[in-house]
């Protein structure tokens, strides 16, 4: 059996098993998540033992400490994973929700309701917690899951999937709704991306290279998650007392994630007065600054160390304590800069002028616009979704943080009494 | 300039011009559609003259009469096109609609609103009316349009786009929001499909081959429109007086379109009594029947002419007065047949039993389920959308008939008072 046949067979099995989800109630799916959570917690030692094998192999192959940390499962982290599953089980059932309803002049009753996609493939990297996080979100939204994790987490993923499947065997949901795709072969990713008609959706989570590969190669519909080159624009009408904490929080609070800021744009009218304060705060927070020529002069006068920005800086996602600072002459110029270098993720404006905020919003083209608050709030949990399968960086289907709802599609139910079309 | 550079330049121009749409009000877009409608009607003779050139070339190249008919523009048809634009102008503004709104515990105000995609590419075949239909739907939903029609309609499309652009020059909307992509070169389609980051969405409308090509080749997100192998299942609890008209209407009323039925499935308990009536009605309507062995016996006894179905019949979209008829033993078996051979478009059940209807709906995996009504009702106008840019045959983003709303995406607006994340 080649990789494509293998994936097709797994997808067929998953789709058939998925019928047990299509006809299940929210209460049954919730119960399934609870037994999964219990089983994961109860079998913690088994998971830690399997994870230790991955950790050993990782150390032997010279993985860096940050990657090793992402790979590590401790009893405490396992408890957290189980807690996450319980949290998802508490969320409102996303299926069977009526989105639109009407009665047509000919008496036909029209109803658009939410339904599962069917079979969803996840392609992700080292973190084994994604195996459970994704499976429970997909299961709760009625979807069968094909999970393709990293080979570096193979032992961990294998035991986590086994535990979840064994837990399901005592429920009304078929264990086959969770399928682990072998990770010992790169071809299985390719096959997953070409299983059109067998797999309804593929979601990549991980590096820009992984996401680009999925988007370029896939004939199965995909949702791009990913890169964030986010901006904070400090308008001439900004309350400067708010501006500094927002800049610092947007950059420093967790620089490694996609919703952290990479560039600060300052209106020219307040550059002389405000920039020195902002630059000083960034310097104190240990942030390296790449700046345009106007800011460079201001920094020099203020005795603050900066680097002249090169053109590639403006589109760099640092993921670290580095930031760009530039001056713009208007909200329109800020938006032009953002359109040129941004990734349509999150853009913030600090202003007390509602008209300016309105124009910034209208000219923005991104998943989230922050008005007088930190870019770091583009986050499923912060936004109250309860769970997040990723942050969509595309416009089709879902934009921004994706919760249970984003994992559903719709069906029209048209109920008649023998009506025909004339 | 090669094709990719050309498309990128057109898309850049369209995106910049699209900012006049982003900041426009619904009233301004509505007014723009009205001047377009007026101009098209006023310049009817010019359009007919250009169309005559396409018709001549079409006749010379031996286009068949059905294709020539699709290409033809008459003063009456032009009036109809203008009327369509006016109809779209009357629809509620799809932009700036609040989909979700909440206040978080930290005081942040969250609002999810509808916004345009930005730049949308349409790839379509001979019918020049699509040039205007698509442009006005995209414009009303705030999107700039890259229109790639067929070379066989080049003169018609050229004059229609010129008229629309000239009409816009007197409005607040930049004429550059409508761009005609040259159709004299196949490479421009390819370039459009690879203009990732420049074009936000591509929608193909036309043959299965065109749609398949777009879906396979595109790195730009696409919405698949298309094929319909639709089924009508006559349940054991059917009201047979409703069943016959529904079968006939689903097949005969307009056999060439995607929402017409290709297969009738009859529950075995009523096959002996009902099948002869249904077969007779189909025969009287001039429909050729491909049937399974049970139906073949019934037909023989009733003296009705049928053909034994081959396996490929079950998945054929006839687009003509041909249909398949088979017997199934249960609603589950009906759904298995549909899952195997259907295209997830529209499936109908005729039953008076609500539990059976509910199970049929739960097991279905399609854009629309018809209960006791004709498959022909999966249609934007019939469903009251007022306009339709196509019928989505995919699960991502939009499913079924797509109106103005389907041409929007969303943005989160998060308004704070200096909140930062801790």
Tens-place pLDDT, residues A15-42: 999 999 988 999 999 999 999 999 999 9
User: Chain A partners of B366 at a C-beta cutoff of 8 Å?
Assistant: 411
User: Chain A partners of B216 at a C-beta cutoff of 8 Å?
Assistant: 219
A219 contacts B215? CB cut-off 8 A: yes
Residues B164-192 have a mean pLDDT of 96
What SS3 class is residue B148? strand
A219 contacts B110? CB cut-off 8 A: no
Which residue of chain A is at minimal alpha-carbon distance from B346?
A: A412
Give me the residue spans of the domains in chain B: 3-226+397-415, 230-382
Cross-chain CB nearest to B414 (options A102, A215, A368): A368
List the alpha helices (DSSP H) in A23-175.
26-42, 44-60, 65-71, 75-89, 129-140, 154-168
Tens-place pLDDT, residues A267-324: 999 999 999 999 999 999 999 999 999 999 999 999 999 999 999 999 999 989 999 9
User: Chain A partners of B19 at a C-beta cutoff of 8 Å?
Assistant: 363
A420 contacts B245? CB cut-off 8 A: yes
Handedness of CA A301, A305, A311, A313 (dihedral sign): negative
List the alpha helices (DSSP H) in B285-330.
293-302
B215 contacts A216? CB cut-off 8 A: no
Q: Cβ atoms within 10 A of the Cβ of B160, count?
A: 32
What SS3 class is residue A127? coil
B377 contacts A108? CB cut-off 8 A: yes
What distance in Å separates the CA atoms of residue B291 and residue B288, rounded to the nearest whole number? 10
On the question of pLDDT at B114 being above 80, the answer is yes
B411 contacts A361? CB cut-off 8 A: yes
On the question of pLDDT at A107 being above 80, the answer is yes
Q: Which residue is listed with tokens 């979100």?
A: A137
What SS3 class is residue A225? strand
Averaged pLDDT of chain A: 95
What distance in Å separates the CA atoms of residue B57 and residue B7, rounded to the nearest whole number? 26
Residues B23-27 have a mean pLDDT of 95
CB-neighbour burial class of residue A118 (10 A; exposed 0-12, middle 13-18, buried 19+): buried
Residue B55, min C-alpha distance to chain A (Å): 31
What distance in Å separates the CA atoms of residue A338 and residue A346, rounded to the nearest whole number? 10
Specify whether the CB–CB gap between B195 and B35 falls below 8 A. Answer: no
Q: Are strands A288-291 and A307-308 parallel, antiparallel or unpaired?
A: parallel
What distance in Å separates the CA atoms of residue B44 and residue B100, rounded to the nearest whole number? 45
Specify whether the CB–CB gap between B164 and B43 falls below 8 A. Answer: no
Tens-place pLDDT, residues A190-240: 999 999 999 999 999 888 888 888 888 898 999 988 789 999 999 999 999
Tokens representing A316 are 């760099």
Instruction: Pick A3-226+397-415's CATH classification: 3.40.50.2300, 1.10.10.10, 3.40.50.300, 3.40.605.10.
Output: 3.40.605.10
What distance in Å separates the CA atoms of residue A142 and residue A119, rounded to the nearest whole number? 9
User: Chain A partners of B245 at a C-beta cutoff of 8 Å?
Assistant: 418, 420
User: Chain A partners of B370 at a C-beta cutoff of 8 Å?
Assistant: 414, 416
Tokens representing B122 are 């349409």
DSSP B215-269: HHH-SS-B--B----EEEEE-TT--HHHHHHHHHHHHHS-TTSTTSEEEEEEEHH
Element (H, E) at A392: strand A390-392
Averaged pLDDT of chain B: 95
Provide CATH code, domain B230-382: 3.40.309.10
DSSP state of A281: H
**Count of CB contacts below 8 A, A vs B?**
203
A110 contacts B384? CB cut-off 8 A: yes
pLDDT-derived band at B51, boundaries 50, 70, 90: very high
Tens-place pLDDT, residues A358-369: 999 999 999 999
A223 contacts B411? CB cut-off 8 A: no
Residue B367, min C-alpha distance to chain A (Å): 5
What SS3 class is residue A366? coil
Distance of CA A61 to the CA centre of its chain: 29
Q: What percent of chain A has pLDDT over 70?
A: 100
Specify whether the CB–CB gap between A203 and A120 falls below 8 A. Answer: yes
User: Chain B partners of A200 at a C-beta cutoff of 8 Å?
Assistant: 395
User: Chain B partners of A13 at a C-beta cutoff of 8 Å?
Assistant: none
Which residue of chain A is at minimal alpha-carbon distance from B382?
A: A104
Q: In 3D, which of A249, A259, A307, A313 has the Cα closest to residue A282?
A: A249
Q: In 3D, which of A203, A237, A259, A254 has the Cα closest to residue A351?
A: A237
pLDDT-derived band at B214, boundaries 50, 70, 90: confident
Residues 6+ apart with CB under 8 A from B172: B20, B24, B28, B32
What residues pair up with B145 in beta bridges, in sequence order?
Answer: B120, B178
Q: What percent of chain B has pLDDT over 70?
A: 100
* pLDDT at position B384: 85
Which among B218, B409, B410 is the top mutation candidate for probing chain A, defined by the most A β-carbons within 10 Å of its own β-carbon?
B409
Residue A107, min C-alpha distance to chain B (Å): 11
What SS3 class is residue B27? helix
Tokens representing A65 are 């400490």
* pLDDT at position B216: 85
Cross-chain CB nearest to A249 (options B108, B365, B421): B421
Cross-chain CB nearest to A414 (options B110, B371, B416): B371
Q: In 3D, which of B13, B225, B32, B23 has the Cα closest to residue B139?
A: B32
Q: Cβ atoms within 10 A of the Cβ of A319, count?
A: 15
B394 contacts A370? CB cut-off 8 A: no
Tens-place pLDDT, residues B255-306: 988 999 999 999 999 999 999 999 999 999 999 999 999 999 999 999 999 9
Integer CA distances (angstroms), B33 to A193, B17, B19, B145, B380, in order? 41, 16, 17, 14, 20
Residue B43, min C-alpha distance to chain A (Å): 33
B216 contacts A373? CB cut-off 8 A: no
Tens-place pLDDT, residues B309-351: 999 999 999 989 999 999 999 999 999 999 999 999 999 999 9
Integer CA distances (angstroms), A81 to A33, A86, B33, B314, in order? 12, 9, 54, 46
B219 contacts A377? CB cut-off 8 A: no
User: Chain B partners of A404 at a C-beta cutoff of 8 Å?
Assistant: none
Tokens representing B72 are 């033809």
């Amino acid at each position: 059996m080649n990789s494509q046949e293998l994936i097709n067979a797994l997808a067929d099995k998953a789709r058939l098993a998925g019928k047990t989800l299509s006809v299940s109630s929210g209460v049954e799916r919730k119960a399934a998540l609870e037994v999964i959570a219990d089983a994961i917690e109860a079998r913690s030692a088994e998971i830690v033992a399997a994870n230790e094998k991955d950790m050993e192999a990782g150390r032997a192959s010279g993985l860096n400490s940050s990657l090793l940390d992402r790979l590590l499962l401790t009893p405490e982290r396992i408890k957290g994973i189980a807690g996450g599953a319980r949290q998802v089980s508490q969320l409102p059932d996303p299926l069977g929700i009526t989105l639109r309803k009407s009665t047509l002049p000919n008496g036909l009753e029209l109803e658009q309701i939410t339904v599962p996609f069917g079979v969803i493939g996840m392609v992700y990297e080292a973190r084994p917690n994604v195996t459970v996080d994704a499976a429970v979100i997909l299961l709760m939204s009625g979807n069968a899951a094909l999970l393709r994790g990293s080979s570096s987490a193979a032992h961990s993923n294998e035991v986590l999937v086994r535990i979840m499947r064994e837990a399901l065997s005592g429920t009304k949901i078929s264990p086959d709704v969770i399928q682990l795709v072998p990770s010992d072969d790169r071809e299985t990713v390719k096959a997953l991306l070409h299983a059109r008609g067998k797999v309804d959706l593929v979601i990549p989570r991980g590096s820009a290279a992984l996401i680009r590969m999925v988007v370029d190669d896939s004939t199965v519909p995909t949702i791009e998650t990913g890169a964030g080159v986010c901006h904070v624009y400090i308008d001439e009408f900004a309350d400067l007392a708010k501006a500094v904490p927002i800049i610092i929080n947007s950059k420093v609070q967790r620089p490694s994630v996609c919703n952290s800021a990479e560039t600060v744009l300052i209106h020219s009218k307040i550059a002389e007065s405000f920039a020195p304060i902002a630059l000083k705060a960034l310097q104190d927070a240990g942030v390296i600054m790449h700046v345009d020529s106007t800011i460079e002069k201001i920094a020099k006068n203020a005795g603050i160390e900066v680097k002249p920005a090169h053109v590639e800086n403006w589109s760099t996602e640092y993921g670290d304590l580095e930031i760009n600072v530039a001056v713009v002459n208007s909200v329109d110029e800020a938006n032009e800069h953002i359109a040129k270098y941004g990734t349509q993720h999150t853009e913030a404006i600090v202003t007390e002028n509602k008209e300016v905020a309105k124009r910034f919003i209208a000219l923005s083209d991104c998943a989230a616009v922050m008005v007088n608050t930190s870019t770091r709030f583009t986050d499923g949990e912060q936004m109250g979704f309860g769970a997040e399968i990723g942050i969509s960086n595309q416009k089709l289907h879902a934009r921004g943080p994706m919760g249970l709802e984003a994992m559903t599609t719709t069906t029209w139910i048209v109920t008649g009494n023998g009506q025909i079309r004339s």
